[in-house]
Structure 1
Amino acid sequence: MPSASRGGTVPSHGVQGTLDDLGTPLSEVTFVVVDLETTGGSPADSAITEIGAVKVRGGEPLGEFGTLVDPGGPIPPFITALTGITQAMVTAAPRIEAVLPAFLEFARGAVLVAHNAGFDVSFLKAACAAHGYAWPGFTVIDTVDLARRVLTRDEVPNCKLDTLARFFRTGSAPRHRALADARATVDVLHGLIERLGSFGVHSLEELRGFAKAPTPEQRRKRHLADDVPSAPGVYMFEDARGEVLYVGKSSDLRSRVRSYFTGSETRLRIREMVGLAERVRTIVCATALEAEVRELRLIAEHKPRYNRRSKFPERSLWLKLTVEPFPRLSIVRECRDDGAAYLGPMASRRQAEEARAALHEAVPLRQCTQRLTPRLIAAGRARTCVLAEIGRCGAPCAGRQSADAYAGHAAAVRSIMAGDVRPVVAAAQARIDRLAAELRYEEAAAQRDRLAAFVRAAARSQRLAALARCSQLVGARPAFDGGWELAVVRYGRLAAAGTVPPNAHPRPYLDALVATAETVLPGPGPAGAAGAEEMECVLRWLDSPGARLADVQGEWSCPVHGAERLRGWIEAAYVTPDPEDRGAGRPLR
């Protein structure tokens, strides 16, 4: 071995590298943990109201950054209720263009960390772009992705910040204020980094690659996607016993199923599902609409434990005008062929109760739940309620209103539910205007919410009922390859789907599809023979650009004075509230 003379140098190729040469140790990395509060969920139509950030290195805090921000517009009431940030609090706060330089200087050279980082980073990038600041290109770490990789469902049911803060017993509790949430995220980050040691993650470079890498279980199950075709359709993950674990759809089954075995799939419950899956079964569909409908039907049939939406369509609620001598409005789970009028469906009992309250404001139907009959009233055995005593009800229970007089109220409600919503809107608007004039803004906003619940339910009900009335509807839509997509819909249910090749005459294909379509019988109520979600899929397909009707058997139309024309007005009352109205809403013209 050659020796070096005094004052010489040892050849570099003879020196073994250290572990530090493999990357930057996490103990030497400066992290800036940031959290934002905003006026909404998208930087396209929302703004930042607060920035909080904590700088740490080696587990020790180096500094904090926190400030309220004037968003330049109104803060929605539900945001104020969530965060506690009011309009008065941000009136004297700096605008985002004045805050950005200070924050970027505070975070310069650090690794940016956030919980659900995509949300916070999108707002910061949008603010930089809007005010001429170059985005520094931070290395970004998302604690949600790390938690999904490190923690199991036995340890935490989900990866929300509140849940992780309780699990790691953070020193600061998250409370939807930026700096408090950033402090809690710091403790969550440190807890996750401690866990990462057992995964062999000790450097920043290893940390960056860890969240994007598939788990060993995902790698082991990649062969499940080998025989999946590249076609539109539905896929079902099944366990060893044949139980359906998860149902999904895609325009390219092979590409979608393969994504479950890559690092891009970070959802904790889905990674757990992949670990249990032993096979993937596919159903190739003619069109994307057929795939969407089949997915809904399969989810409702199998109720897979790893699907979250559309599992329980039977839990939808309907508003029913009962069939009895003195009808009342009842909230029910299903439509029946009993001659009653129905409105819905609605996703929650609160929505149903709000819609019912709006109807009661317009028409004085009885609100008691007893079954009233003329014989019971004549015998004096009917119970009276407080509404009868204060004049809010015609009080048929006390004999002060005849069955014929009450029938007029029931007919008015039936007309409203069938299509003419003007009485409900007029009654609600008059009440809103009176409350706003008396400066009772919270009560006016409550009335607006009732009206909104009714309009949304009525608009949906009338759309579904119009489609359900058609014994057959045949539609066509341009396909991407130059051909046509076809659909046969009977009483709201997709009975058949097919395609027409490019440059082919569509008539033979249409005739063949109609001849082989499923036989469908009409169903009760507005939902027809299909579920509400399936009918909504069909309606979206029919509303898409280029869609055409080849045949309609029945009357497909919405009422002239129906709720559909009011939906835009209702949504505008929530999206762009007028500060002068203070939640009361604008009059309808």
Structure 2
Amino acid sequence: MVSEPLHPGLNQVGDEWVVIDFETASSRGTPCQVAALRFRDGTEVDRFTSLIYQAPDSFYPFNVALHGISPEMVEDAPTWPEVCGELVRFTGASPLVSHYAPFDMGVVRDACDFCEIEWPSLRYTCTVSISRRVWPGMQSYSLPLLCTELGLSVDEDLTHDALYDSRLAAEILGRAITAKGATGLDDLLSKIWLFFGEVAPDGWFGSRARANAAGSIPEADLDADPDSPFFGKVVVFTGELAMVRRNAWQAVAAAGGQPSNNVSKKTNMLICGYQDMLKLAVGKTKSHKLQRVEELHADGEHIEILTERDFFRLLGGIERPQANV
């Protein structure tokens, strides 16, 4: 299978990657379809697709309505251990790419756990994290809406088909590489300060932000525990902290929160450290950030104000990804 290059100028980028997508019968551990597309120099050169057997009682009506895959369609399909082995052989040493990798890599881990087989060794990245850095401020980073924002044609009748969604994710990655003037996937991640995530037999860690020389704020780790008190929250610090501010940012990002320097309507938490009164403007008794939160409170916005002790207490209750080993 050979296709046209993803985007003008991508036929000589000189690297190789595999875009992957799963559909599930119900929970993350019940994959019923997988598609993996191999791209070399910006052009699709091979593909692996398969339905995956799941017991009839594992299918939720909601999931079936989304992707149209019924228990009858998979009754003769290979099981997950068989498909996983084929998928690993197809992938080889190439990095995986998916749109919202926490879900797709979670499918791999949970399905292996359910079948009591070893996790494979995979290296991966996420086009949601990439898109947030290449095109900040989008209204939505969901697959169909992001594609529409980027001018890509989307057939709503085909979304939630693993093969179709893989192709859309590949188009997004191709445009991101072009937008940043990168020579390929590795160069793109270097330019936007992201590391690959990894799954291995002895553990896993998510695709995460690098600290750069300019001191940029790290991006939330979307592979973090969704039950973390910081997951999905925008967190701002004010005042002097007992820990280095960058370390506090990294702790929030590792817990799935998004650190920010500025208070806005998107802010969910303000963490207040020690306030040196000599550093405040003349006549002021509160930092500008705390004043701004109080103004937003008066306008009906809900922003939680926490002490640094509260922050450490919440951090102390968070399990790190290594606990999933």
Q: Residue 212 in 1 paired to residue 196 in 2?
A: no
Which structure 2 residues correspond to residues 326-405 of structure 1 after superposition, within 5 A?
A: none
Say yes or no: does 1:28 pair with 2:25: no
Q: CA deviation at 1:208?
A: 8.6
Question: Could you say which residue in structure 1 is the equivalent of 2:129?
Answer: 145
Q: Is the 8 A contact 2:131 2:176 kept in 1?
A: yes
Q: Secondary structure at the match of 2:152?
A: coil
Q: 2:154, 2:97 → 1: CA distance? A: 17
Maintained 8 Å contact 2:182/2:188:
no
Q: Does 2:18 correspond to 1:55?
A: no
Amino acid at match of 2:17: F
Distance 1:169 1:89, change over 3 A: farther
CA 1:267/1:301 → structure 2, altered by over 3 Å: closer, same or farther? farther
1:370-423 CA-partner distances (Å, limit 9, x unpaired)? xxxxxxxxxxxxxxxxxxxxxxxxxxxxxxxxxxxxxxxxxxxxxxxxxxxxxx
Match of 1:164 among 117, 127, 146: 146
Alpha-carbon offset, residue 193 of structure 1: 1.3
Return closer, same or farther for 1:260/1:144 CA change in 2, 3 Å cut-off.
farther
Is residue 148–residue 267 contact of structure 1 (8 Å, CA) maintained in 2? Answer: no
Q: Report how far residue 73 of structure 1 moved.
A: 3.8
Unaligned runs of 5+ residues in structure 2 are 1-11, 195-207, 219-228, 265-269, 275-293, 305-325
The alpha-carbon deviation at position 302 of structure 1 amounts to 5.2
Partner residue in 1 for 2:170: 186
Higher relative contact order (CA 8 A, sep 6+): 2
Q: Which residue of 2 aligns with 1:522?
A: none
Q: Which residue of 2 aligns with 1:282?
A: 272
Q: Distance in 1 between matches of 2:192 and 2:49?
A: 27
Would the alpha carbon gap of residues 68 and 133 (structure 1) be closer, same or farther in structure 2, given more than 3 Å must change?
A: same
Matched to 1:34, the amino acid is I
Q: Superposition pairs for residues 474-493 of structure 1, below 5 Å?
A: none
Aligned alpha-carbon RMSD (Å)? 4.5
- Give the corresponding residue for 2:314: none
Task: Report the Cα distance in structure 2 between the residues aligned to 1:49 and 1:104, rounded to whole angstroms.
Answer: 17
- Change over 3 Å in CA distance of 1:263–1:164 after alignment to 2: farther
Which deviates more from structure 2 when the two are superposed, residues 50-59 or residues 129-138? 129-138
- Counterparts of 1:553-568 in structure 2, within 5 Å, are none
Q: CA–CA distance in 1 between the matches of 2:262 and 2:209?
A: 17
Q: 2:51 aligns with which of 68, 80, 90?
A: 68
Measured in 2, the distance between the counterparts of 1:217 and 1:303 equals 35
Of the three residues 168, 177, 195, the one matched with 2:179 is 195
Q: 2: CA distance between counterparts of 1:246 and 1:27?
A: 36
Q: In structure 2, do the counterparts of structure 1 residues 270 and 264 end up closer, same or farther at CA, with 3 Å as the change threshold?
A: closer
Partner-residue secondary structure (3-state), 2:13: helix
TM-score by length of 1: 0.34
Whole-angstrom CA distance in 2 between matches of 1:104 and 1:209: 27
CA distance in 2, matches of 1:262, 1:270: 9
Letter in 2 for 1:66: T
Q: How far apart, CA to CA, are the structure 1 residues paired with 2:236 and 2:31?
A: 35
Distance across 2 between alignment mates of 1:133 and 1:114: 23
Matched residue, 2:318: none
1:40 to 2, 23, 26: 26
Q: 2:88 aligns with which of 85, 100, 104?
A: 104
The Cα of 1:299 is off from its aligned counterpart by 8.6
Cα separation, 2, equivalents of 1:128 and 1:207: 34
State which of 74, 78, 83 in structure 2 corresponds to 1:94: 78
Q: Secondary structure in 2 aligned to 1:40?
A: coil
Distance 1:246 1:209 in 2: 20
Aligned-pair CA distance for 1:135 = 3.8
- Indicate conservation of the 8 Å contact 1:247/1:304, yes or no: no
CA drift of 1:258 comes to 5.1
Q: Give 1:220 shift.
A: 8.0
SS in 2 for 1:27: coil
Question: Structure 2: how far apart are the matches of 1:219 and 1:54?
Answer: 33
Partner letter of residue 72 of structure 1? A
SS in structure 2 opposite 1:56?
Answer: strand
Question: Alpha-carbon deviation of 1:166?
Answer: 1.1
Correspondence for 2:108 among 120, 124, 149:
124
Alpha-carbon distance change, 275 to 283 in structure 1, aligned in 2, over 3 angstroms: closer
Q: Deviations over 1:338-368 (max 9, x none)?
A: xxxxxxxxxxxxxxxxxxxxxxxxxxxxxxx
| 1:197 counterpart SS class | coil
Distance 1:247 1:35 in 2: 31
Tell which structure's C-alpha radius of gyration is larger: 1
Q: Which amino acid aligns with 2:126?
A: D
Match of 1:328 in 2: none
Structure 1 CA distance for aligned equivalents of residues 273 and 298 of structure 2 = 15
Please tell me whether the aligned partners of residues 65 and 103 of structure 1 are also in contact (alpha carbons under 8 angstroms).
Answer: yes
Taking the aligned partners of 2:184 and 2:71, their CA distance within structure 1 comes to 48
Q: Structure 2 vs 1, CA of residues 100 and 220 (structure 1 numbering), >3 Å: closer, same or farther? A: closer
Superposition pairs of residues 513-532 of structure 1, within 5 angstroms: none
Whether the 8 Å contact between 1:213 and 1:262 is mirrored in structure 2 is no
| Residue pair 1:148, 1:268 contacting (<8 A) in 2 also | no
Which consecutive unaligned segments of at least 5 residues does structure 1 have? 1-25, 222-233, 236-244, 285-296, 310-589
Describe the SS at the equivalent of 2:181: helix
Write the distance in 1 (CA, Å) between the matches of 2:252 and 2:182: 22
CA 1:91–1:220 in structure 2 vs 1: closer, same or farther (change >3 Å)? closer
Greater Cα shift, 102-111 or 78-87: 78-87
Conserved? CA contact 2:55–2:71, under 8 Å? no
Q: Where do residues 400-549 of structure 1 align in structure 2 (5 Å cutoff)?
A: none
> Shift in Å at residue 216 of structure 1?
8.0
Deviation at 1:60, TM superposition (A): 0.4
Partner SS, residue 79 of structure 1: helix
